[in-house]
Amino acid sequence: MSTLPPQPSAPGADRPARGPDPDDPRIEAWRAFLEAHARVTRRLDEELRAEHELSLAEYDALLQLARAPGRRLRMSVLADRVILSRSGVTRLIDRLAADGLVGREPCPSDARGAEAILTPAGRSRLAAASRTHLRGIERHFLTALSQADVETIGRVLGGVATQACAGAVSGEDRAASDCEPGEPRRRA
Amino acid sequence: MSTLPPQPSAPGADRPARGPDPDDPRIEAWRAFLEAHARVTRRLDEELRAEHELSLAEYDALLQLARAPGRRLRMSVLADRVILSRSGVTRLIDRLAADGLVGREPCPSDARGAEAILTPAGRSRLAAASRTHLRGIERHFLTALSQADVETIGRVLGGVATQACAGAVSGEDRAASDCEPGEPRRRA
DNA sequence: CAAGATTGAACGGTCAATCTTT
DNA sequence: AAAGATTGACCGTTCAATCTTG
């Protein structure tokens, strides 16, 4: 393959610019968001693995279980909360169960279903890991933000999540409150 | 025993970083950030794949190449920009090259290095995909945000990214400017 | 048949080892 | 020896197919 015709490289000079402009500051906000996420989660994941042999996803699953009434959750509900596919969550629970951090039980009210239950070992592992994790969020995410910034982000990105959720290909999550009366969902 | 260690989580907690409370609104901001990212990127990736057979990472790589002077970039520089490991980028470029969207050339000034070069086919694929992508960012991310929110996010998350970068385990990456005098990095 | 969960295959990424060039 | 890129082995996730139960 030969290279392109010379096409002098004045940056930004030959942009097609149909539709939204790629250099729009609004788009840059999106890119800043993306990059911040990539860098911060990478750090948090590293720290969790190094200090507690837990991935961020595993930590998150333990946390969701800890918060659920009875410390148990149906697989599909858990999948929705940690934002993973069903099979993803099956395998995640496989790993955690192999470490004794969760147990599996058939759902009493619907024999098709299964529940994941946090074990005492899981609780204490979570408690230990949460110190690392919260410290990491503080250090890598929150310190760069003023109180007002944090407030804005919390308020505004909650809306973004639901916005992106509505109209998604895979339908609504009308799960929950089948096995458990359960807490209302956080945001969605 | 309802939740983890019983914390008297008094609302209106604006106390500075200390023993972090899991129910702290500051932590909730982090969780909103995480969830928004997961949902939005999933949508964008789906749309790009469905309409242009391109993953988000592939799109990003094409975009970085298109913006670079000469539409070419050293592998390691590209890895830094798309936030992937070196081997990750090698494989990404393998895929794009198999589709004829990029080419590979040895770096003229340093025979150890390789450069990825955007082909004409890559350019037009990118141009087509960018319509989908920018539309998606608009729909799934920006619409939920006021102009002021967008500004806040852009300003503030740029800081977060560099914050998380500084002090990372793997040292500084001041690569670049060996083969190409190059454009200044966007967004440190 | 529809829905919940699991399994097998494949994908996309990382880490550690390797090869080449400086 | 150090640095850039690639390769091999492996890991975590998704998709499609399957099994089971409502």
CA dihedral of B91, B93, B98, B100, whole degrees rounded to 10: 170
Of B30, B27, B29, B36, give the one whose Cα is nearest residue B9: B27
Of B147, B187, B183, B186, give the one whose Cα is nearest residue B73: B183
Q: How would you label B155-184 residue by residue, b for 16+ Cβ within 10 Å and e otherwise?
A: ebbbbbbebbbeeeeeeeeeebeebbebee
Residue B184 CA and nucleotide D1 C1' are separated, in Å, by 31
Helix and strand numbers (H, E) in chain A are: 6, 3
Which pLDDT score is estimated for A46?
95
Which of A104-118, A170-184, B1-15 tops mean pLDDT?
A104-118
Average pLDDT over residues B84-93: 98
Residue A9 CA and nucleotide D8 C1' are separated, in Å, by 39
Minimum CA–C1' distance nucleotide for A42: C14
Could you tell me the two tokens for A122? 């899981």
Residue B86 CA and nucleotide C18 C1' are separated, in Å, by 15
Query: Would you place residue B138 in the very low, low, confident or very high pLDDT band (cuts 50, 70, 90)?
Result: very high
Which pLDDT score is estimated for B164?
72
Residue A137 CA and nucleotide C3 C1' are separated, in Å, by 38
CA distance A92 to A102: 10
Query: Would you place residue A167 in the very low, low, confident or very high pLDDT band (cuts 50, 70, 90)?
Result: low
Average pLDDT over residues A160-176: 54
Judged against a pLDDT cut of 90, whether residue B168 lies above it is answered with no
Instruction: Please name the residue of chain A whose CA is at the shortest distance from the CA of residue B130.
Output: A22
Minimum CA–C1' distance nucleotide for B114: D5
Average pLDDT over residues A16-43: 82
Beta strands in chain A (DSSP E): 72-74, 102-106, 114-118
Tell if the CB–CB gap between B37 and A34 is shorter than 8 Å. yes
CA distance B37 to A161: 8
Tell if the CB–CB gap between A160 and B36 is shorter than 8 Å. yes
Residue indicated by tokens 């190094």: A50
Query: Is any atom of strand D within 7 angstroms of residue A53's beta carbon?
Result: no
Instruction: Express each pLDDT in A48-57 by its tens digit.
Output: 999 999 999 9
Distance from CA of A155 to the nearest CA of B (A): 8
CB-based burial of residue A13 (10 Å sphere; 0-12 exposed, 13-18 middle, 19+ buried)?
exposed
- Residue A104 three-state SS: strand
Query: Is any atom of strand D within 7 angstroms of residue B72's beta carbon?
Result: no
CA distance B65 to B102: 9
Contacts A141 to B, Cβ<8 Å: 30, 33, 160, 164
Residue A88 CA and nucleotide C9 C1' are separated, in Å, by 15
Distances (CA, A) of B13 to A63, A138, A157, B9, B187: 22, 15, 20, 8, 33
Give chain A's length.
Answer: 188
Which pLDDT score is estimated for B161?
74
Which pLDDT score is estimated for B41?
96
Beta strands in chain B (DSSP E): 72-74, 102-106, 114-118
C-beta separation of A97 from A103 below 8 A: yes
Which pLDDT score is estimated for A159?
80
Contacts A40 to B, Cβ<8 Å: 160-161, 164
Query: Would you place residue B22 in the very low, low, confident or very high pLDDT band (cuts 50, 70, 90)?
Result: low
- Its sign, for the CA torsion B35, B37, B40, B45, is negative
Contacts B117 to A, Cβ<8 Å: 3
Average pLDDT over residues A95-103: 98
Helix axes B120-140, A25-52, angle to 10 degrees: 90
- The mean-pLDDT minimum among A83-92, A94-103, A125-134, A155-164 falls in A155-164
Average pLDDT over residues B116-143: 96
Residue % of chain B over a pLDDT of 90: 65
- Non-local (6+) Cβ contacts of A6 within 8 A are none
- Non-local (6+) Cβ contacts of A127 within 8 A are B4, B5
- The mean-pLDDT minimum among A16-20, A110-114, A169-173, B92-96 falls in A169-173
For A188, half-sphere exposure in the C-beta direction (CA atoms, 13 angstrom radius) is: 23
Average pLDDT over residues B38-66: 97
Query: Would you place residue B159 in the very low, low, confident or very high pLDDT band (cuts 50, 70, 90)?
Result: confident
Judged against a pLDDT cut of 60, whether residue A19 lies above it is answered with no
Which pLDDT score is estimated for B128?
97
Judged against a pLDDT cut of 60, whether residue B18 lies above it is answered with no
Of A29, A40, A63, the CB nearest to B153: A29
Contacts A9 to B, Cβ<8 Å: 69-71
Question: At residue B49, what is the residue type?
Answer: R
Residue indicated by tokens 């858990």: A78
- The mean-pLDDT minimum among A113-117, A159-163, A179-183 falls in A179-183
Which is more confident, B121 or A182? B121
Tell if the CB–CB gap between A30 and B120 is shorter than 8 Å. no
Which of A20-29, A141-150, B24-33, B120-129 tops mean pLDDT?
B120-129
Judged against a pLDDT cut of 90, whether residue B17 lies above it is answered with no
Residue indicated by tokens 């990105």: A157
CA distance A178 to B13: 34
Residue indicated by tokens 């006021």: B146
Residue indicated by tokens 């995909």: B129
Query: Would you place residue A158 in the very low, low, confident or very high pLDDT band (cuts 50, 70, 90)?
Result: confident
Of B69, B152, B163, the CB nearest to A144: B163
CA distance A56 to A5: 47
* B67 φ, ψ (degrees, to nearest 5): -85, -20
Judged against a pLDDT cut of 90, whether residue B85 lies above it is answered with yes
> Which residue's CA shows the smallest distance to C1' of C7?
A87
Average pLDDT over residues A8-33: 64
Query: Is any atom of strand C within 7 angstroms of residue A152's beta carbon?
Result: no
